[in-house]
A and B are shown apart, each in its own frame.
Chain A
């Protein structure tokens, strides 16, 4: 009669290895199935990007020449500038360096970021300091009493 003791030793070992492999991969798979949802859970679902392509940024009499104003454009801040010549310009107010909110400096006639001293000119070009790229620029239209800023199509 066959007894387990008489089975050749390598047969037992290979079966044991097979069981270890099954057990090990099962445990690994279950760990992965616990960890994966936890990691996915850490990142929130994206918020639908604001569909508004344009916004009323100011009223016509609000801004004097050589001044600026931060306004809400979708979910991000934007900057409306009235140049010394009376033109309107609009840019994203998010500094391209590290995300701070920029402001108009009437003494310099430039756009300035207080966080790391970045400067942009009145076309939004990064002219000094650490910013690597120009500010995103928007279109400005004056309609009646309203200054309307819109994303370029």
Chain B
């Protein structure tokens, strides 16, 4: 068998230089130090994204994106189609775990200053991928066309209307009209299965290429320890050593997903009714809770601004600062850790955790 394997490789090598591909893969190494565990979360996110793509394609075989059919088609998937309950629950659970790993990945990169020169673009593509993942979450949430999703979409899109100047246009663009209707469902379906996957593919390719090209970042503290000879510079090849470790994690994740889907099947709720009141205890998915709680406690007017506009402006500003942090914290590029930015990260994480906890009370 190894003979055949070698001959196939040689055949490929003569045609497009498979040796170069192998060389490309072997070029990357993974540093070993006390923070190495955080290197796993990017790969884990990628794995969960692949799970989303595959289960999403399977759901597409039966899902129908119209207000009369959407809810019933998912009912059909989870009650009639063989293993439909499994596919649908895995898609929902994996979506939630994916958002979780995206946030862990982002915050670990932030605190370990992995965004510093020369990895600014890796950080920026990563942040855009994070926004796209939130877009996937928001658009996918509406697709079952249940009551919770209906009101979540009303509120979420109404937020867009508070944007100065283009707000009304943005609202109509998102909703496909003045109200959340079947037109909104069709649009969100299009975003969810065509627009966002396309953008993700492009950004993911850039992100991975940059990671491959620049190698893994070593945190400033570890870097200094190595320079001062307090610690040896150890590393392992990415391919195959680290990848095999990654794969053990992915295998475990599959087990967790299967168990969650089987033990806690994702609920479908009740079908959306445009002429019913919002039910008591309504709230969005956990990763939007901090924004939801902020909206809830903002007063109707802050100085001369409407409360929700002030909130929206606050979050937009925070998002811009976050995306541009490699340039604001340029000193990190020289290996200097600025307390302010570490503090800012702790504040952001703390704010999100505390606000989410308040919303769950």
Contacts and interface: CB of A to CB of B under 8 A. Distances in A.
B154 interface: yes
B176 interface: yes
A98 B275 contact: no
B295 interface: yes
B177 A44 contact: yes
B280 interface: yes
A115 interface: yes
A42 B308 CA distance: 26
Interface in B312-333: none
Interface string B264-282: 0000000000111111111
A55 to B, nearest CB: 12
B169 interface: yes
A16 interface: no
Contact of A98 (B172, B276, B279, B308): B308
A33 B111 CA distance: 47
A7 interface: no
B306 interface: yes
Nearest to B177: A44
B343 interface: no
Q: Interface extent on A, as a size class?
A: 20 to 34
Given A98-B158, A100-B151, A43 B275 contact: no
Contact of A43 (B173, B179, B277): B173
B112 interface: no
A103 interface: yes
A80 interface: no
A147 B312 CA distance: 41
A113 interface: yes
B183 interface: yes
A115 B176 CA distance: 23
B158 A132 contact: no
Interface centre among B155, B172, B298, B306 (most CB of A within 10 A): B155
Nearest to A102: B277
Contacts of A141: none
Interface string A64-81: 000000111001110100
Nearest to B183: A44
Nearest to B277: A103
A100 B300 contact: no
B271 to A, nearest CB: 15
B296 interface: yes
B299 interface: yes
B130 interface: no
Contacts of A98: 154-155, 158-159, 295, 308
B301 interface: yes
A31 interface: no
A93 B277 contact: yes
Interface of A: 42-44, 46-47, 70-72, 75-77, 79, 93, 97-103, 113-117, 126, 129-132
Given A47-B177, A101-B275, A113-B278, 6 more contacts: A44-B177, A75-B179, A99-B154, A114-B281, A116-B296, A129-B296
